């Protein structure tokens, strides 16, 4: 075993081997994998081996498609068999809402290059040789890529391909310590010490223990999962005689998946009475053992399966596989650089290793070698769970995710486990106002305020919900009087130091404002793609406040750390600093009543920022508003926020002051076609595509990050452009990812949409080819399987000349 290497990957499961292979594929040969036992120890060896592309996150679905296509490449490279069976997959829908979800997923696949199709009951019968009881079945989604493989053979193929690329693999060598050094990491093992530049935690069931060696808590938990393998089944043997195979069938209503195994069937369950395993840590001597059979916890699921697949009732069980595998709180992997630790990388919680392992290995290798990922990684980025996570949070969220693995996922759904956890001092006040809560980055955020007599929850749906009327009233209160909304869901940072302006000029693509002013600016990766859209407020020549998405804190602060400069400090004050925005025609009058500072239009101009006392609270007040109306953002210390509320609330009683939530905010911003982080602005898009290029200071002296790539795109012109639409919707509005049709072909997709309560119109934003963008262009947007007329409408729906917002 060598003592120095560029990368050490800890863990020899399918994910660790995939990372190792992709590092060599992208050009790094001086890499090593260390495994405590044999390859596949842990979860990999007892996995059911199924693979599929279906995933609600489009980037995850695309990377799953990459994973599946990779297996033939591995076989060609190594000469080894992955035991591939591309039998196709069918996901059943036993009610209309589940069918709506599948239709929506099929729509996404149209522009992703995935060749899926919707099946009716008769087609399902044909595909499954009549072995599915179709009672209550509305339809299904069919994916020809789905299938299953040999877990051990596939993992060893990854390993051989990595070795062929120069990698070293050391088995039977448990890691004992990981210690940071000036150059990287010291990895102390049973067979000696290895020094490396980069360390990858692909520890699987032991990822928590490996993380703890470096002082890292990774929010994941093993869950005990059980599947059965049947005796030979005559119907399966007949299918084999015909030269065919039985497809992979997922039955979400029955919490089960089913596939052929030899001449029988394999069926697994995501049962409600599930069992978290090894809550306090995985024993080091565990590896190739199975857990005891527990038929009692899957009894209801088995009975349901017998009704759905009657052939099972006539078949004996050959063996039971019951073993643990790991989940993150939302079921997606934990991949990427760990904040606060130089060159420490997570490759954990990949619960669907044979659907996702290849794509996750590719993504991490790109991140390590190229500094960023080809696709937007936010759905699997480890930074989406900040330092606020604890085992007390992780356990109930993982259990909830396991139990709801096959549940319908609604766009407006708010799942309840481990909530409320993180709240502001305004939580009880908002509850008294009948707040209906959402959450972002673990923080409770008001979605809307339920009307008297209405339930204090929003019904999950693909269509317009019971939040409709309350949201409409909140929107109109802003447009006609003045609304108030808590600013807790902004990420906030204080940048100080003699080099603060120089640092901001490098890290931000836009203009850095003068004292007393603010600016809007994108933050770009080296590739020129958007990794943040910020408000920069200049409080003095050596102090600035940055605001951006609250949910992107981990992502953004990690970027700040990676691009640190001497003479600059950056403090994350997202939770220490809160406050309110007030917006609407009466906003200026309200502010004037609670401060002695002159806030007239002449004294406090649009895009000004001032320190002022509001009531008794020292505040930073910015004249800007995401509502597209006259508005102000008033920031204060979290200890003063209840006083600030009382002050504003009392002063605005006769001005029509009304609290509004995020549902209203999202409607209001669409009136001006303002983009939203994670929707219109994300690492998948560039400034020239999205219109953020208008905020770039192209001629500033600083060599800002992403300048070369962004300038090249500006010179050549983007191939697609973000545009806005008025949609002839019925009872469901655009959410995101719906395909846009033009002349009978899919030419783009939606980024977001909703209902403009001010104008009474259904609206959307999305990408069209740049050469097709024309005001008034008629298209169609596919909403829940139905194409609805949509017209490109480029002018704002409200305050077109900016007189209200800027006056």
Residue-wise pLDDT tens digits, 101-158: 999 989 888 888 778 999 999 999 999 999 999 999 999 999 998 999 999 999 999 9
Give the integer Cα–Cα distance in Å for 404 and 272: 8
Quick one: which of 379, 372, 342 has its CA closest to 706?
Answer: 372
Q: How many Cβ atoms sit within 10 Å of the Cβ of residue 105?
A: 23
Residue 521 CB contacts under 8 Å (≥ 6 apart), including other chains: 508, 509, 510, 511, 512, 533, 534, 536, 695, 696, 697
Q: Write out the residue limits of the CATH 3.30.1360.120 domain(s) in the chain.
A: 467-487+576-673
The C-alpha angle with vertex 488 and arms to 483 and 494, in degrees rounded to 5, equals 120
Q: Write out the residue limits of the CATH 2.40.30.110 domain(s) in the chain.
A: 719-803
> Is there a contact between 196 and 9 (Cβ–Cβ < 8 Å)?
no
* DSSP tally for the chain: helices H, then strands E: 20, 38
Q: How many Cβ atoms sit within 10 Å of the Cβ of residue 290?
A: 15
Tokens of 39: 């390859």
Give the integer Cα–Cα distance in Å for 483 and 251: 46
> Is there a contact between 632 and 621 (Cβ–Cβ < 8 Å)?
yes
CATH topology of domain 4-327: D-Amino Acid Oxidase; Chain A, domain 2 (3.30.9)
Whole-number pLDDT of residue 489: 86
Give the integer Cα–Cα distance in Å for 510 and 514: 13
Q: What CA–CA distances, in Å, run from 802 to 636, 672, 805?
A: 28, 10, 5
Instruction: State the Rg of the chain over Cα.
Output: 27
Residues of the chain under the 70 pLDDT cut: none
Give the integer Cα–Cα distance in Å for 117 and 37: 43
Tokens of 492: 């906030």
Whole-number pLDDT of residue 49: 85
> Is there a contact between 421 and 446 (Cβ–Cβ < 8 Å)?
no
Q: What is the CATH number of domain 489-574+681-696?
A: 3.30.70.1400
Whole-number pLDDT of residue 112: 80
Q: What CA–CA distances, in Å, run from 727 to 411, 663, 670?
A: 19, 19, 13
Tokens of 316: 């004996």
Give the integer Cα–Cα distance in Å for 251 and 307: 12
- The residue ranges of DSSP E strands in 190-316, in sequence order, are 192-201, 221-230, 248-251, 256-261, 264-269, 275-276
Q: How many Cβ atoms sit within 10 Å of the Cβ of residue 273?
A: 12
- Residue 147: what are its φ and ψ, rounded to 5°? 170, -150
Tokens of 231: 């005796």
Tokens of 120: 């009716």
The C-alpha angle with vertex 141 and arms to 135 and 147, in degrees rounded to 5, equals 105
Q: 353-370 vs 58-78: helix axis angle to the nearest 10?
A: 90
Quick one: which of 506, 509, 556, 782 has its CA closest to 678?
Answer: 556
Q: Residue 679, class by beta-carbon neighbours within 10 Å (0-12 exposed, 13-18 middle, 19+ buried)?
A: middle
> Is there a contact between 506 and 702 (Cβ–Cβ < 8 Å)?
yes
> Is there a contact between 378 and 678 (Cβ–Cβ < 8 Å)?
yes
Helix (H, G, I), strand (E, B) or coil at 790: strand
**Among the CATH numbers 3.40.50.300, 2.40.30.110, 3.40.50.720, 3.20.20.70, which is that of 719-803?**
2.40.30.110
Q: What is the CATH number of domain 467-487+576-673?
A: 3.30.1360.120
Specify the residue for token string 């447009």.
479
Polymer length of the chain: 807
């Amino acid at each position: 075993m060598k003592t120095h290497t560029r990368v050490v990957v800890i863990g020899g499961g399918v994910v660790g081997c995939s990372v190792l292979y992709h590092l060599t594929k992208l050009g790094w040969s001086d890499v090593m994998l260390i495994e405590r036992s044999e390859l596949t120890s842990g979860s990999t060896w007892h996995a059911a081996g199924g693979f599929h592309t279906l995933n609600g996150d489009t980037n995850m679905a695309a990377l799953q498609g990459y994973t599946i296509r990779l297996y033939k490449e591995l076989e060609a490279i190594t000469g080894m068999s992955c035991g591939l069976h591309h039998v196709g997959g069918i996901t059943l829908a036993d009610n209309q809402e589940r069918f709506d979800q599948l239709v929506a997923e099929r729509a996404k696949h149209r522009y992703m290059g995935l060749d899926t199709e919707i099946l009716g009951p008769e087609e399902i019968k044909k595909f499954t040789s009549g072995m599915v009881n179709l009672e209550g079945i509305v339809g299904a989604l069919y994916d020809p890529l789905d299938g299953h493989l040999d877990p051990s053979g596939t993992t060893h193929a990854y390993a051989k391909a990595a070795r062929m690329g120069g990698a070293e693999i050391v088995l039977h060598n448990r890691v004992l310590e990981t210690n940071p050094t000036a150059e990287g990491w010291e990895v102390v093992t049973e067979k000696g010490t290895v020094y490396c530049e980069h360390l990858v935690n692909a520890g699987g069931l032991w990822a928590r223990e490996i993380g703890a060696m470096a002082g890292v808590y990774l929010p994941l938990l093993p869950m005990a999962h059980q599947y059965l393998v049947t005796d030979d089944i005559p119907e399966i043997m007949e299918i084999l005689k015909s030269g065919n195979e039985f497809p992979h069938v997922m039955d979400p209503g029955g919490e089960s998946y089913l596939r052929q195994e030899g001449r029988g069937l394999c069926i697994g369950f995501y049962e409600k009475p599930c069992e978290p395993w090894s809550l306090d840590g995985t024993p080091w001597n565990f590896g190739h053992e199975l857990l005891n059979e527990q038929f009692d916890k899957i009894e209801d699921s088995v009975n349901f399966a017998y009704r759905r697949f009657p052939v099972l009732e006539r078949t004996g069980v050959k063996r039971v596989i019951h073993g643990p595998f790991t989940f993150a709180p939302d079921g997606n992997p934990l991949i990427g650089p760990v904040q606060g630790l130089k060159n420490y990388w997570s490759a954990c919680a990949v619960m669907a290793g044979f659907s996702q392992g290849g794509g996750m290995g590719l993504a991490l290798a790109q991140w390590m070698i190229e500094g960023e990922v080809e696709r937007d990684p936010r759905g699997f980025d480890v930074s989406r769970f900040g330092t606020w996570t604890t085992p007390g949070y992780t356990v109930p969220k993982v259990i909830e995710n396991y139990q709801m693995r096959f549940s319908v996922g609604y766009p407006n759904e708010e799942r309840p486990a481990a909530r409320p956890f993180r709240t502001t001092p305004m939580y009880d006040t908002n509850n008294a106002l009948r707040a209906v809560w959402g959450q972002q980055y673990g923080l409770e955020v008001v979605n809307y305020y339920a009307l008297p007599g209405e339930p204090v929850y929003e019904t999950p749906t693909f269509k317009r919900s019971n939040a409709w009327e309350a949201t409409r009233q909140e929107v109109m209160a802003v447009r006609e009087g003045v609304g108030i909304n808590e600013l807790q869901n902004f990420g906030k940072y204080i940048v100080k130091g003699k080099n603060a302006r120089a640092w901001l000029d490098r890290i931000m693509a836009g203009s850095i404002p003068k004292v007393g002013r603010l600016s809007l600016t994108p933050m770009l990766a080296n590739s020129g793609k958007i990794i943040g859209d910020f408000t920069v407020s200049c409080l003095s020549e050596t102090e600035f406040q940055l605001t951006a998405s609250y949910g992107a804190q981990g992502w953004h602060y990690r970027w700040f750390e990676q691009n640190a400069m001497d003479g600059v400090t950056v403090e994350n004050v997202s939770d220490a600093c809160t406050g309110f925005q007030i917006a609407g025609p009466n906003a200026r009058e309200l502010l004037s009543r609670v401060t002695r500072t002159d806030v007239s239009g002449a004294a406090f101009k649009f895009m000004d920022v001032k320190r002022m006392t509001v009531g008794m609270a020292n505040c930073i007040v910015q004249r800007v508003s995401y509502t597209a109306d006259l508005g102000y953002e008033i920031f204060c210390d979290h200890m003063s926020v209840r006083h600030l509320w009382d002050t504003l609330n009392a002063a605005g009683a006769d001005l029509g002051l009304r609290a509004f939530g995020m549902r209203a905010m999202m409607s209001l911003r669409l009136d001006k076609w303002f983009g939203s982080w994670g929707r219109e602005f994300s690492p998948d898009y560039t400034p020239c595509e999205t219109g953020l290029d208008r905020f770039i200071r192209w001629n500033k002296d600083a060599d800002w990050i992403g300048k070369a790539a962004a300038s090249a795109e500006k010179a050549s012109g983007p191939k697609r452009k973000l545009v806005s639409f008025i949609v002839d919707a019925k009872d469901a509005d655009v959410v995101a990812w719906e395909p846009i049709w033009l002349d009978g072909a899919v030419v783009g997709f939606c980024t977001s949409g909703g209902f403009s309560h001010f104008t009474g119109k259904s609206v959307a934003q999305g990408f069209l080819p740049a050469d097709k963008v024309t005001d008034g262009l008629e298209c169609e947007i596919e909403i829940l399987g139905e194409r609805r007329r949509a017209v490109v409408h480029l002018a704002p729906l409200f305050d077109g000349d900016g007189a209200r917002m800027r006056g």
